[in-house]
Amino acid sequence: MAHIVRRVRQAGTYFVTSRTWQSRALFQRPATAQILLEQLLDCRGRGFYNLHEFVIMPDHFHALLTPAAETTLEKAMQMIKGGSAHRIHQESDGKFPVWQSGFHDRWIRDQQEYEARAAYIRENPVTARLAGKPEDYAFSSACGRFAMDARSFRAGTSGAEAPMS
């Protein structure tokens, strides 16, 4: 798989997706999903990004996040993936790869696109038949257990111009 080289750092909010190595269902185990969940929240708490929405699926995760001014999107993803892989290896004595290299991202241009991606994240466990409704899925921001960072766009502006909350 070719590695995408990112040469431009564009401020704003991103929809990001990363898959496990060989699409293995690592996060089907609640203990392993909990490690990724804690890493997502810890990196947000350490100021790497604002976290707006997320879902941890058995073999991948999605998030809507806004990197902090001094953090690149690549650094934010490195902290999430590297930190979670390190903890998973510590707790399982494993040496296997956890993540596929790289990640997919989409820069969010306006409120309409933001809402569409947020709805996709919330509905993902329902579509995959892991839950009857979004709030029933424990490893998602839709469950209501986690305080998420607000995000808004001024009318007529792009995601790059919207302030970080």
Is position 57 within any domain? yes
Is position 119 within any domain? yes
Tens-place pLDDT, residues 14-36 = 999 999 999 999 999 999 999 99
Determine the pLDDT at residue 3.
Answer: 52
3-class DSSP assignment, residue 24:
coil
Domain around 37: 14-143
Is position 79 within any domain? yes
Q: Give the count of alpha carbons within 13 A of 103, CB side only.
A: 22
Name the helix (H) or strand (E) containing 15: strand 14-19
Q: What are residue 18's DSSP bridge partners? A: 61
Is position 8 within any domain? no
- Which is more confident, 111 or 158? 111
Tens-place pLDDT, residues 120-155 = 999 999 999 999 999 999 999 999 999 999 987 765
Find, among 140, 138, 6, 148, the residue nearest to 77 by Cα: 6
Is position 107 within any domain? yes
Is position 158 within any domain? no
From residue 53, give the alpha-carbon distance in Å to each of 32, 35, 65, 77, 148. 19, 17, 7, 15, 7
Tens-place pLDDT, residues 86-106 = 999 998 877 789 999 999 999
Name the helix (H) or strand (E) containing 31: helix 30-45
Tens-place pLDDT, residues 105-114 = 999 999 999 9
Distance from chain centroid for Cα 90: 22
- CA dist 84 and 126 (Å) reads 25
What pTM does this model have?
A: 0.88
Lowest mean pLDDT among 49-53, 69-73, 157-161: 157-161
Q: Domain tally for the chain?
A: 1
> The CATH number of the domain where 18 resides is what?
3.30.70.1290
- CA dist 142 and 48 (Å) reads 22
Is position 28 within any domain? yes
From residue 44, give the alpha-carbon distance in Å to each of 94, 105, 144. 26, 18, 17
Is position 153 within any domain? no
Task: Dig out the tokens for 102 from the structure.
Answer: 């790289």
- CA dist 108 and 144 (Å) reads 23
Determine the pLDDT at residue 155.
Answer: 57
